[in-house]
């Protein structure tokens, strides 16, 4: 996961504490630069794999056995990878934060988690 993919409100995993949590301003303050001046995350943050469980947590529903509907298009799974058809462009969604960022880019609103 690249640090520049993270936004406040994204869900990430802390492997040390074994918890999923929402990124806040304190979390973002732990981002640092390496010797090449590239943005890095410390080892306390890992992306959360996107699963059907997370899609349900965000209130998405399966429609007609085809996939999860979002804005009239579909999130589908093939070869263990979810993807979203955005007007003929296929957006790969491997992690929860990627889905959250796509939703925000399309709506300018945060995706709400029901749990």
Q: Where are the domains of the chain?
A: 1-47, 49-109
pLDDT of residue 76: 92
E strand segments, the chain: 11-14, 19-22, 32-33, 39-40, 62-63, 67-70, 73-78, 81-86, 89-93
pTM of the entire structure? 0.85
2 or 58: which carries more pLDDT confidence?
Answer: 58
pLDDT of residue 10: 92
Percentage, residues of the chain above pLDDT 90: 43
CB atoms within 10 A of CB 93: 21
pLDDT of residue 77: 92
Cα–Cα distance measured from residue 12 to residue 20, given in angstroms and rounded to the nearest whole number: 6
37 or 3: which carries more pLDDT confidence?
Answer: 3
- Tokens in use for 46? 């890992």
Cα–Cα distance measured from residue 37 to residue 59, given in angstroms and rounded to the nearest whole number: 39
Q: Could you give phi then psi for residue 61, rounded to 5 degrees?
A: -125, 150
> Per residue in 10-62, pLDDT tens?
999 988 888 898 988 887 776 665 666 555 666 677 899 999 999 999 999 88
Mean pLDDT of the chain: 85
């Amino acid at each position: 996961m690249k640090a520049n993919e993270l936004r406040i409100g994204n869900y990430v995993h802390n492997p040390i504490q074994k918890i999923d949590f929402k990124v806040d301003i304190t979390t973002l303050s732990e981002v640092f630069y390496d010797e090449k001046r590239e943005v890095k995350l410390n080892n306390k943050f890992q992306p959360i794999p996107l699963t059907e469980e997370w899609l349900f947590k965000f209130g998405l529903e399966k429609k007609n056995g085809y996939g999860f509907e979002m804005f009239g298009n579909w999130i589908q799974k093939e070869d263990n990878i979810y993807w979203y058809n955005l007007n003929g462009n296929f957006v790969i969604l491997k992690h929860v934060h990627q889905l959250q960022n796509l939703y925000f880019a399309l709506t300018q609103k945060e995706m709400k988690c029901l749990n």
